């Protein structure tokens, strides 16, 4: 016996199957970031929102991590799909150098969004007024697993300095500096300004930022070509004079397993929606991310990223060309 319910039920079931298929087709991606107390964390939240709003059938979630080295290990273990990677450590991982010797991590460039001056922020009353006086000082080299930590240790060894390293999260370290349980710490700046955690310390604790001298600058330039030395003008914070320090690029790298189309759509969305990124990091207002990527990238592009930049008329340097 024919019933109106039959086609109705069929239509409902069909709609349910279509909806289920659509939901299943949505690609779930994890973005490795850094400590939630870092100024950089907000940038990755903004990027995740851009992707979720402008890339069809892709949903991202931002994961708090130990930053670069931790993110690379997670990319290797397929625990994140992309994440914060600094240009120097990203290259070491790709080439199997340094701490990645014999254990390379295949990671691919999506874009570089900022330079990251590494600020040696000390209590003013610590009795340490120059880099040469860091021997034996209680210093946090950066959060565990971060590029800041790995690079600080390499810089100190290259300069023949031996601080007493104290580990901990950014929150622990900020409290430790405030309470005078450590003399200072090394923290990525936000452009030419100190980051939020350093400004937090400076609210009630007088600080100073140590500077490289000419001899130290020459040593780093000759022996550590994977980093650069930058001159920060007066005003990184109130009362802080001009200084010189080491720096590297902050980038989004991905697993090579990310599909070309997804990588293309993500890079396109990020390049074409700068406003949320500037809201998260004000110093990006004056940054041409495409040009910075092409000048500062150190590992080959993901094919999807290369496709986007080529479509925009950029000439990709040989060392950034995608590889198999």
Query: HEC string of 48-71?
Result: HHHHHHHCCCEEEEEECCCCHHHH
- 211: domain CATH number is 3.40.190.10
How far from 129 is each of 109, 124, 188, 270, 298, CA to CA, in Å?
38, 8, 20, 42, 34
Beta-carbon contacts of residue 244 (< 8 Å; ≥ 6 apart) = 211, 212, 217, 229, 230, 231, 232
Where do the DSSP E strands lie in the chain? Answer: 27-32, 58-63, 82-86, 108-123, 138-140, 164-165, 184-188, 207-209, 228-232, 243-254
User: Residue 283 CB: number of other CB atoms within 10 A?
Assistant: 15
Q: How far apart are CA 235 and CA 194, in angstroms?
A: 9
Give the pLDDT confidence score for residue 52 in this predicted structure. 98
Where do the DSSP E strands lie in 106-158? Answer: 108-123, 138-140
In a domain, 13, yes or no: no
Do 123 and 242 lie in one domain? The reply is: yes
More confident residue, 52 or 26: 52
Do 230 and 258 lie in one domain? The reply is: no
Q: Which of 86-90, 132-136, 259-263 has the lowest mean pLDDT?
A: 86-90
In a domain, 34, yes or no: yes
Comparing CA positions, the residue from 312, 323, 298 lying closest to residue 270 is: 312
Give the pLDDT confidence score for residue 82 in this predicted structure. 98
Assign 50 to helix, strand or coil: helix
In a domain, 238, yes or no: yes
Do 144 and 211 lie in one domain? The reply is: yes
Q: How far apart are CA 218 and CA 228, in angstroms?
A: 11
What residue numbers bound the domain in which 273 lies?
A: 27-114+249-320
Give the pLDDT confidence score for residue 6 in this predicted structure. 47
pTM: 0.75
Do 131 and 84 lie in one domain? The reply is: no
Give the pLDDT confidence score for residue 99 in this predicted structure. 84
As a whole number of Å, the CA-based R_g of the chain is 23
User: Residue 167 CB: number of other CB atoms within 10 A?
Assistant: 12
Q: How far apart are CA 116 and CA 142, in angstroms?
A: 13
Please tell me what DSSP assigns to residue 233. P
Contact 110, 302 (CB under 8 A): yes
Number of domains in the chain: 2
Give the pLDDT confidence score for residue 225 in this predicted structure. 78
pLDDT band at residue 24, thresholds of 50, 70 and 90? low
Quote the distance between the C-alpha of residue 91 and its chain's center. 14
| Token output for 66 | 């130990």
Q: Which of 78-82, 254-258, 275-279, 285-289 has the lowest mean pLDDT?
A: 285-289
Question: Mean per-residue pLDDT for 102-131?
Answer: 96
DSSP string, 179-231: TTSSSEEEEE-BTTB--HHHHHHHTTS-EEE----HHHHHHHHHH-TTSEEEE
Q: How far apart are CA 118 and CA 164, in angstroms?
A: 18
Do 136 and 86 lie in one domain? The reply is: no
């Amino acid at each position: 016996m024919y019933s109106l319910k039959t086609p109705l039920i069929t239509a409902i079931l069909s709609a349910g199957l279509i909806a289920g298929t659509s939901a299943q087709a949505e690609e779930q991606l994890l973005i490795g970031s850094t400590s939630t107390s870092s100024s950089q964390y907000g940038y990755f939240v903004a990027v995740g929102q851009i992707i979720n709003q402008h890339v069809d059938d892709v949903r991202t979630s931002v994961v708090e991590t130990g930053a670069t080295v931790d993110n690379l290990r997670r990319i290797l273990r397929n625990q994140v799909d992309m994440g914060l990677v600094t240009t120097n450590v990203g290259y070491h991982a790709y080439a199997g150098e340094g701490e990645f010797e014999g254990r390379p991590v295949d990671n691919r460039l999506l874009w570089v969004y900022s330079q990251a001056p590494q600020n040696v922020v000390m209590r003013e009353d610590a009795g340490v007024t120059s880099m040469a006086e860091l021997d034996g000082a209680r210093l946090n080299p950066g959060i565990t697993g971060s590029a800041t930590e790995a690079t600080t240790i390499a810089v100190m060894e290259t300069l023949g300095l031996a601080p007493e390293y104290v580990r901990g999260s950014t929150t622990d370290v900020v409290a430790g500096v405030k309470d005078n349980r450590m003399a200072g710490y090394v923290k990525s700046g936000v452009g030419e300004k100190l980051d939020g955690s350093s400004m937090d310390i400076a609210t009630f604790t007088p600080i100073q930022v140590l500077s490289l001298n000419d001899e130290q600058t020459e040593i780093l330039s000759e022996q550590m070509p994977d980093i650069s030395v930058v001159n920060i003008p007066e005003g990184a914070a109130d009362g802080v004079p001009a200084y010189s320090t080491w720096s590297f690029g902050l980038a989004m790298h991905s697993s090579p397993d990310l599909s070309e189309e997804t990588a293309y759509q993500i890079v396109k969305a990020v390049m074409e929606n700068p406003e949320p990124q500037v809201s998260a990091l004000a110093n990006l207002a004056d940054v041409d991310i495409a040009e910075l990527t092409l000048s500062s990238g150190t590992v080959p592009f993901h094919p999807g990223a290369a496709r986007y930049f080529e479509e925009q008329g950029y000439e990709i340097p040989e060392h950034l060309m995608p590889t198999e």
